[in-house]
Amino acid sequence: MSTEALEKMLAKGMDNALLRFGLGKAHLDGGNTVQAAEHLQRCVEFDPAYSAAWKLLGKALQAEGDIDGARQSWQQGIAAAQAKGDKQAEKEMTVFLRKLDKPGSNRG
């Protein structure tokens, strides 16, 4: 589904975690990290257990240069993934956090 189609659904009042995740991912894929972060933030407000959204939110924030925000997102995402038993998401975000903590790696 195109970003435009998703935006139209949102404009019609269809606002939920899945729609926000789709919009966030579409904007992130398109390089629009500011809008991606906004949609993904709303997504995790709807569903704090949405580990994939925390993962992408961290990536969007890292791309914006918000390293602390990215770290917090991934820490919350790891907790959400652990609660659901989502080992793959937990592993990915753990790797992202490790990379953040390496000297000189704060530029995504």
pLDDT at 108 > cutoff 80? no
Is the pLDDT confidence value at 66 over 80? Answer: yes
What's the pLDDT at 102? 80
pLDDT of residue 104: 63
Classified as helix, coil or strand, 48 is coil
Is residue 36 domain-resident? yes
User: What CATH number is given to the structural domain containing 62?
Assistant: 1.25.40.10
Nearest to 16 by CA among 58, 45, 55: 45
pLDDT digits (tens, 9 = 90+) for 22-51: 999 999 999 999 999 999 999 999 999 999
Planar angle of CA 80, 83, 86, nearest 5 degrees? 75
The total domain count for the chain is 1
Domain range enclosing 74: 3-100
Report pTM: 0.91
